[in-house]
Structure 1
């Protein structure tokens, strides 16, 4: 039975080469390729969450440009059977990329994904966002 909701906030950052920033990250014993961001904490707004996640995980400061997408369908967590996910995505600009430093032990690598790739992101809503991003930019 689902009795909890987990709100996730993610960033879309595309560099000048039309490549999307992603993270190789381990979570609950699985290796994932995912967008930067994470879970909303109590007492925090979505934009505050993104700023905090970038600072805590990557030592980066960002400028949030615009809301890009909010998940529209029900999605149960793949890691916790009693949890529903709600994911929100914003486009961002990174203000100090030269200061990038991975501070979170679960992040193995920062990588770049060409917008020409076919289905490079494994998480269900990330897949939708990637296709919408391709439609908008290509």
Structure 2
């Protein structure tokens, strides 16, 4: 029996500073997207190790996991490959040590509009809603986060 459908496990971090959450603006397959920082789980890696690695690779910062926030509880095909089912896991994270994150102030403020481009920005609490994100799972997380923002930020 041939199985051609696979799972794509993604792990994301919710980093809150003051009244804002860090988001990533990216270009993939000629499409501009906004999502939470993080990425794909590599074989042999645990989910928290994956997230720590992703933050180090993308932002050059060290993080600690505070707690699990959400794991997708509905079927979601991959936007770029419908034969893959996306399983996304979200954690609340905090930074370790002094942090200097280079951020932009406007969405998609890339130096060059090329596939693979990525910039970060702080999304203010009042801007935090499902419309600010591209993918259905991130939209769900944004709604949940918006409802609980002040409880979890402290």
> Is the TM value for this pair above 0.5?
yes
**Where in structure 2 are the equivalents of 1:58-137 lying within 5 Å?**
58-96=59-97, 98-100=99-101, 106-117=116-127, 118=129, 119-137=131-149
Indicate the structure (1 or 2) with the bigger Cα radius of gyration: 2
CA distance in 1, matches of 2:52, 2:94: 11
CA contact (8 A) 2:22 2:121 kept: yes
Runs of 4 or more, structure 1, over 2 Å off, are 96-102, 105-108
Deviation, 1:112, is 1.1
> 1, 9, 12: which is aligned to 2:14?
12
Give SS of 1:129's match: helix
CA contact (8 A) 2:102 2:120 kept: no
Q: Render the CA deviation track for 1:60-100: whole Å, top value 9, x for unaligned.
A: 10010000000000000110121110000000001245343
Q: Point out where structure 2 has 5 or more consecutive residues left out of the alignment.
A: 104-114
CA contact (8 A) 1:63 1:95 kept: yes
CA distance in 1, matches of 2:5, 2:98: 39
CA contact (8 A) 1:23 1:107 kept: no
TM-score by length of 2: 0.80
Q: Which range moves more in the overlay, 115-124 or 36-45?
A: 115-124
Paired positions, count: 135
Give SS of 1:116's match: helix
Cα root mean square deviation, aligned = 2.0
Q: Point out where structure 1 has 5 or more consecutive residues left out of the alignment.
A: none
CA contact (8 A) 1:2 1:81 kept: no
Give SS of 2:53's match: helix
